[in-house]
Amino acid sequence: MPLTDVAVKNAKPGAKPFRVKDERGLYLEVRPEGGKWWRLRYWINSKERLLSLGTYPDVSLKMARERRDEARRLVAQGVDPSELRKAQKNSEAAEVETFERIAREWWAKFQPTWTEDHGNQILHRLELNVFPWIGARPLKEITAPEVLAVARRIESRGALEMAHRMVQNCGQVFRYGIATGRCERNPAGDLRGALPPTKETHHPSLTDPKAIAHLLRAMEDYQGSHVTSCALRLAPIVFVRPGELRHAEWCEIDIEGKEWRIPANKMKMRAQHIVPLSRQAITIIEEVRPLTGHGKYLFPSARTLERPMSENTVNAALRRLGYTKEELTGHGFRSMASTLLNEMGWNRDAIERQLAHAERDNIRAAYNYAEYLPERRKMMQAWADYLDTLKANGKIIPFLREERAI
């Protein structure tokens, strides 16, 4: 006998669950705690199945019968409504806008605007420090305390600067989520002042001419890979960023023009950079050509010519020479050149341009990559000659440009 609205309403819970049958497999399950569940009993592929159709009174008798009829139509077509519902839930779960999903989308969107090293560092930082903790959380549900907990976890292992960078990256993901309609606010922005400030640090470097002379002579006696030796000896002469050095390609080198033109996509400031090549730099480049000139990179990985050498190669070579990370790093050659070139009277603007530092005027930055180039050519040759003099006898012979800029 079919159910009525009154019978459904008046069904009272008992000591045990019981069923009140309707028609065509539909019944109401009444539980001791008072809940009333609509169930459909059906058969497909000779197997009995049960399907939940909702709870009373949210789902009325009429709605339950409509859902029953729709489910039975699917069964008649050979479709199991339980399996269909499960597949729909899985699909919806896959479409949840999680932090990791939006973060990877953001990274892919902006990765072309970064250098390869910078982009890889950001993704590695997220994969190692963020995704395991909040990566599966819906972006719009993440709170400031959750982001702070991730930052504190990084801080606790002594990586305060990385913790600050992580918060910055998370903030960029949230702002991207806001712009694309996936969340409404940036909880990382609420963490201002929640972490201790970082102390300004500088890359360890050598600026005493006697110490530099000792370093250069030690480099000449390096006993490791010859390719590494060439990279090590070229680094102080050209004083580019370590990532720019290890990603140097043969197609960028113009021996006749005595130039190395680094494409904008490899530069931190995203502008092409010209490195005038001194005689000494060209000698080292020609020295490594027989070993790597048939490949893409001047200084490839020891395992394959298709990838550049590891970012740790030059620093590892310095460690083999006896220099600790507190005494000198590959990046320290830039500070070495900057300090001494300024002390010796070279045009500060020419030095800054050769270091490829940021141009405050964005309009000027778009076209001044070649600015001061004649003076920079003289400066780079004089710098290489000076290093040779130190290496040869350790005498401290200061050098000045031929005339100061007016």
pLDDT digits (tens, 9 = 90+) for 351-364: 999 998 865 444 44
Residue 281: which residues within 8 A CB-CB, separation 6 or more? 234, 237, 238, 380, 384
Report d(CA 124, CA 118) in Å as an integer: 10
pLDDT at 232: 95
Asked whether residue 144 carries a pLDDT value surpassing 50, the answer given is yes
Give the phi and the psi of residue 367 in degrees, each rounded to 5: -135, 0
DSSP string, 9-74: HH----SS-EEEE-STTEEEEE-TTS-EEEEEEEEETTEEEEEEEEEETTS-HHHHHHHHHHHHHH
Q: What is the mean pLDDT of residues 330-344?
A: 92
CATH topology of domain 209-393: hpI Integrase; Chain A (1.10.443)
Instruction: Report the mean per-residue pLDDT for the chain.
Output: 88
Q: Where in the chain is the domain with CATH 1.10.150.130?
A: 99-191
Asked whether residue 119 carries a pLDDT value surpassing 90, the answer given is no
CATH topology of domain 5-94: Double Stranded RNA Binding Domain (3.30.160)
Q: Where in the chain is the domain with CATH 3.30.160.390?
A: 5-94
Instruction: Strand 47-56: give its sheet, edge to edge.
Output: 18-21, 26-30, 36-44, 47-56
Q: pLDDT band at 396, cuts 50/70/90?
A: very low
Residue 324 class from Cβ within 10 Å (0-12 exposed, 13-18 middle, 19+ buried)? exposed
pLDDT at 94: 53
Task: Spell 54-66 as b/e; 16+ CB within 10 A means b.
Answer: eebeebebeebbe
Respond yes or no on whether the N-terminal peptide bond of residue 57 is cis (omega within 30° of 0).
yes
| Top-ranked range on mean pLDDT: pick from 118-132, 190-204, 361-375 | 118-132
CATH topology of domain 99-191: DNA polymerase; domain 1 (1.10.150)
Q: pLDDT band at 42, cuts 50/70/90?
A: very high
Percent of the chain whose predicted confidence (pLDDT) is above 90:
64
Asked whether residue 271 carries a pLDDT value surpassing 70, the answer given is yes
Report d(CA 378, CA 385) in Å as an integer: 11
Which among 291, 282, 298 has a CA at the least distance from the CA of 248?
298
Convert the pLDDT of each residue in 153-193 to its tens digit: 999 988 888 999 999 999 999 999 999 999 999 999 999 88
Our separate counts of H helices and E strands in the chain read 17, 7
pLDDT at 406: 29
Which among 101, 100, 103 has a CA at the least distance from the CA of 173?
103
List residues with catalytic annotation.
241, 268, 331, 334, 357, 367
Q: Where in the chain is the domain with CATH 1.10.443.10?
A: 209-393
Virtual torsion, Cα 350, 241, 394, 375, nearest 10 deg:
-20
More confident position, 88 or 324: 324
Long-range residue pairs from 321-328, CB within 8 A, at least 24 positions apart, any chain: 321/215, 321/218, 321/219, 321/222, 322/218, 323/215, 325/204, 326/204, 327/204, 327/206, 328/204, 328/205, 328/206, 328/215
Asked whether residue 24 carries a pLDDT value surpassing 50, the answer given is yes
Q: pLDDT band at 279, cuts 50/70/90?
A: very high
Residue 269 class from Cβ within 10 Å (0-12 exposed, 13-18 middle, 19+ buried)? middle
pLDDT at 382: 95
Report d(CA 48, CA 27) in Å as an integer: 15
- Which run of H or E residues covers position 104? helix 99-110
Q: What is the mean pLDDT of residues 12-35?
A: 90
Report d(CA 388, CA 382) in Å as an integer: 10
Percent of the chain whose predicted confidence (pLDDT) is above 70:
91
- CB of 146 closer than 8 Å to CB of 134: yes
* C-beta atoms surrounding 192 within 10 Å: 8
* C-beta atoms surrounding 34 within 10 Å: 8
